[in-house]
Amino acid sequence: MAQEISLYQVDAFTSEVFGGNPAAICPLEVWLDDALLQSIAAENNLSETAFFVRDGDDFHLRWFTPGAEVDLCGHATLATSYVISTYLEPGRDLIGFQSKSGRLEVTRNGDLYTLDFPVLKSEVVECPQLLRDALKIEVVGTLDGMDMIALVRDAAAVRDLKPDIGRIAELDTRGLIVTARGDDCDFVSRFFAPKQGVPEDPVTGSAHCLLAPLWAEKLGKTKMTARQLSARGGELIVELKGDRVLISGRAAPYMIGTITV
C-alpha cells in the first residue's frame, strides 16, 4: 500500500532562497528499506536527502546522495535542524543526532545554526598526475583524507576552475576539494564528488571538517570565515576546537510537500 511522507526542501548555508546548498529532508516514524531510501534520494536528485527517526531525545539521522549513503553531511544536517526547530518542535535550540559519524549536536542562536562536527584528518601526499590532468591548473599542495584536497594559488583560480569531471571521477577518493586563501574571507573552496552522483556540490559542510585544521595551521587562527565558490555560493563560519570543528550558517526554506511511495 502506498504511503505519504512529508518532504521539506531547504537551502543551507545561505540566508536567501536559491543560494547555498539545497537539501531534501524526510521525517520518518520508522525506518524504510534502504533500497527505498536510496530510490527517494535518486528521485529528489539533490546532492543530499536526509532521513531521520526520533531516538529518545535525539534523532537518528542518515544522508543519501543520488548514488549512495554517506557517513557525514553538513548542509543536510543544518537543513534538518532547521526543519525540526521551525516546524516540528518550534523554538528548540539544541538538537542531538545519532549518525554514522557518532553523536552530532546542532545549536540554534536566532537564525544561525552551529554544527558540532568531528575534525577529519588528512596527510600531505604527492600530487597524482591524474589530479593535474583533471584540474588543468597549477596545484601547489595535495593532501588526502576522507576527500582529496588540492591547494591552488589563489581565490581566482578556484573561482575560474573548469575541471574535467570525468577525470575527477577516476581519482581514488570520495570527493575532491579545491581550496585557496580567500580575498574577502579567510579561505575559499569548491567540492566535486562525481562518484557520489554529485558533479559539483554547491556548499559542503563536511569538507570543512578537513579544511578547518588545514587553514587554522596556515593562518594561525582558529575562527575563520569561508566561502564555497560554486555557482550558487555559500558562506560559513568555522571554528576549530581541539578534535571538533564548529560550522555555522543560516538556512532558507524553499518547499514543503509530500511524496507518495
48 counts as catalytic: yes
The one-letter code for the residue type at 93 is D
Burial class from Cβ neighbours inside 10 Å (0-12, 13-18, 19+) for residue 107 reads middle
Q: DSSP state, 58?
A: E
- In 84-148, where does DSSP find H-type helix? 129-135
Q: From 201, 223, 202, 228, select the one nearest 212 (Cα to Cα).
A: 223
Q: From 193, 220, 257, select the one nearest 44 (Cα to Cα).
A: 257
Q: Would you report the helix, strand and coil content of the chain in percent, each value rounded to 5?
A: 25, 45, 35
Instruction: Spot the catalytic one: 4, 48, 126, 217.
Output: 48
List phi, psi (to 5°) of 101: -105, 25
- Which of the residues are catalytic? 48
